[in-house]
Structure 1
Amino acid sequence: MTDHGEIDAASLDDEGHDGAAACSVEIIADASKGLDVCGDLFRREPIRSTPVTTSLYPGRASALLRVSAGSVTVGVAAEEAEAYTLTPLGPGAAAALADVLPIDRPSTLLGAAGDVADVAGRWTERCDGAVDTGPLFRWYRLGEAPETRKHKGALRAAGTASIDRAARWMVEFGVDVGLPVSVDAARTRVTDAIHEGRLFEWVIGDEVVSQAIISPARFGVVRINGVYTPPPLRKDGHSSAITAAVATQQVARQKVDDVVIDQPASTAVTNRMYRRLGFASAWNTLAVRLVP
């Protein structure tokens, strides 16, 4: 590491890899700075950068790895709980990231399948480690007005009385999709979302039957995440109802150009539901586990 907090990654030409020019990796520990300094990439790729941009909250500490070639941002990785979420990676970015990722502990990569494979492949060459393939996620972009089929119930913003139940459901959602969330992290996330008006419930009478969280709008994009209905309440259209209602609400906002949502590719019923609601498949991301 240099005196300026940058880690140099040399060109891979002589090793027969991607042949890209040298890149540098800068560690950014402030979310506001990250959104600003990496804004050139985020504006070029606002939709596919959503998994990273929607994880950054001004005023909250962050761990962001910015890969640059000169003054141009060619890739970003957001670190949280020993996991790294990737934006699209430009020339040389995969090698630069692979050369600075930890080799003394396991970690998780999540990003476009090709980028994840490139980073993981280079990383294994550094440490003779192994790669365990995890779930594939399909990302959808709202292409038209959501289906407005009539469903019993109503949408409402969650209040503080819902924190315990919402956190428990977020933990259960993480188990369902193969990306576990700790109880403490879930409680922090839902508390913030409730205070910021970003956690919604579908209610029938006085009973909450489904929930969904939206991200802050980042570069014109809002992400719907954590759509969850408990198993005993499924098959009655609650997840479909809340997704359609929240999407309709968000596309009406002045600062929102696109609404995206993701789901494990293995859940055929939910993937069909999103397509029926007017979402179109946009790209895939892959989770892998790096094991030294």
Structure 2
Amino acid sequence: MTLRESAIMIDMKLQVHRYSSVDEFLATTGELLAAREAEHNLMLGICSTIRADPERFAEDPPTFATVTDAAGRVIAASLRTPPFNQVLSWTDEPQAVDALVDALGDAPLPGMLGPKEPAARFAQRWTDVTGQTTRVEVAERIFRLERVIHPLRPAPGTWRRGEAQDRELLLRWWLDFLAEAMPEQAPPPDPGAYVDRWIASDHQWIYLWEVGGEVVSLVGAGAETPNGVRIGPVYTPPEHRNRGYASALTATASQDQLDRGRSFLFLFTDLANPTSNKIYRAIGYEPVCDVDMYRFGAGPVALDP
């Protein structure tokens, strides 16, 4: 056992290991996460963000954990970048989820996100251990794309990359997107700094759709995985909706990312929004699995980066 890792014995069969290094965590969980890259795109994307911009997380360092069985096989993993939610991997071992919760039970978690069944187990165990209430805040679905189906009738306009000159528009639309998509959630700390990093990053992309010189839609891409990247956010202000701009731009952004050598792309959808789910499927995105974001206690859950 090193200073970077501590192990907690759970009924002499499972071990919970904690790490402070993203590289150690990835070295340990590589096989587990790679086996279901789409399901784990958020976790892998957060790890790539930490590696690309470690100073961003220096003030409140990320925490990582794994659960191993009696044979030493990693059967579950979890991470958190405070003050954001705990993120849980896929696992078919309910006891592994219990072990994680038991190890994290003294942490002041605002909420968690994970594949539907493991997340439900985590939430129930959290209530049993801490006495806090839990509820599903957002029910989501992960989609994956390997080939773009371009709209038969493309919307008028052209796309371009977002630049520093777009900062005020990007900040306003980012906050509008969060307020609309997750109205009960706390905005991320210092959204202006978030947008500044977004513009300056070599690992994130901003796509804008213009009609007659006016920007009418936004699509982001980032949070790289070993073979892919996540698309999002996707936002069109109300006055420009129902004209095909988001479909055209999402298809364009997706094609651009595939042309950069990605094997596939991912995105999250809100199951309460059937329109967006239909649009993404028309472009070529296929459903992979459902994930739930839980809120713990009465406080607002901070949004993940």
Is TM > 0.5 for Structure 1 vs Structure 2? yes
Q: Which runs of 5+ in 1 are unaligned?
A: 13-20
* Secondary structure of the structure 2 residue equivalent to 1:38: helix
> Pairwise mapping of residues 1-292 of structure 1 onto structure 2 (< 5 A)?
5-11=5-11, 21-28=13-20, 30-56=21-47, 57=49, 58=51, 59-60=53-54, 61=57, 62-69=61-68, 72-80=73-81, 81-91=83-93, 92-103=95-106, 105=108, 107-149=110-152, 150-178=154-182, 180=185, 182=187, 184-195=189-200, 196=202, 198-254=205-261, 256-291=262-297
| Distance in structure 1 (CA, Å) of the matches to 2:182 and 2:227 | 28
SS of alignment partner, residue 93 of structure 1: helix
1:185/1:79 CA distance change after superposition, 3 Å: farther
Worse-matched range after superposition: 163-172 or 65-74: 65-74
In 1: Cα distance, 2:267 partner to 2:221 partner: 9
Q: Which one is further off, 98-107 or 245-254? A: 98-107
Q: Distance in 2 between matches of 1:163 and 1:78?
A: 31
**SS in structure 2 of the partner of residue 96 of structure 1:** helix
For 2:163 and 2:43, how far apart are their aligned partners in 1?
27
Q: Is the 8 A contact 1:133 1:287 kept in 2?
A: yes
| Structure (1 or 2) with the greater strand fraction | 1
The code of the aligned residue for 2:86 comes to Y
1:15 paired residue number: none
Where does structure 2 lack aligned partners over 5 or more consecutive residues? Answer: 299-305
Q: Name the SS of the counterpart of 1:240 in structure 2.
A: helix
Please state how far the C-alpha of 1:213 moved relative to its aligned partner.
1.2
* Deviation of 1:78 (Å): 2.7
* 1:192 to 1:178, Cα distance in 2 relative to 1, 3 A: same
1:259-286 CA-to-partner distances (Å, cap 9, x unmatched) read 1111100001111111111111111110
What is the CA–CA distance in structure 1 between the aligned matches of 2:186 and 2:220, rounded to whole Å?
A: 15
Tell me the TM-score normalised to structure 2 length.
0.83
2:197 alignment partner AA: D
Q: In terms of mean alpha carbon deviation, does 129-138 or 173-182 score higher?
A: 173-182
Provide closer, same or farther for how the CA distance between residues 106 and 229 of structure 1 changes in structure 2, counting only shifts above 3 A.
same
SS of 1:223's equivalent in the other structure is strand
> Is contact 1:263-1:270 (8 Å) kept?
yes
Query: Against the structure 1 CA distance between its residues 32 and 215, is the aligned structure 2 distance closer, same or farther, given a 3 Å change threshold?
Result: farther
Q: Which runs of 4+ in 1 moved over 6 A?
A: none
CA distance in 2, matches of 1:83, 1:183: 12
CA distance 1:232–1:32, change in 2 (3 Å)? farther
Task: Report the TM-score when normalising by structure 1.
Answer: 0.86
- 2:105–2:126 contact (8 Å) kept in structure 1: no
Task: Give the letter for the 1:161 counterpart.
Answer: Q
Change (3 A) 1:158 1:87: same
Larger RCO (alpha carbons 8 Å, 6+ apart): 2
Retained in 2: the 8 A contact 1:101–1:123? no
Q: Secondary structure at the match of 1:100?
A: helix
Distance 1:79 1:162, change over 3 A: same
What's the C-alpha RMSD, in Å, of the aligned pairs?
A: 2.5
Q: Which amino acid aligns with 1:87?
A: S
Alignment check: 8 A CA contact 2:67 2:99 kept: no
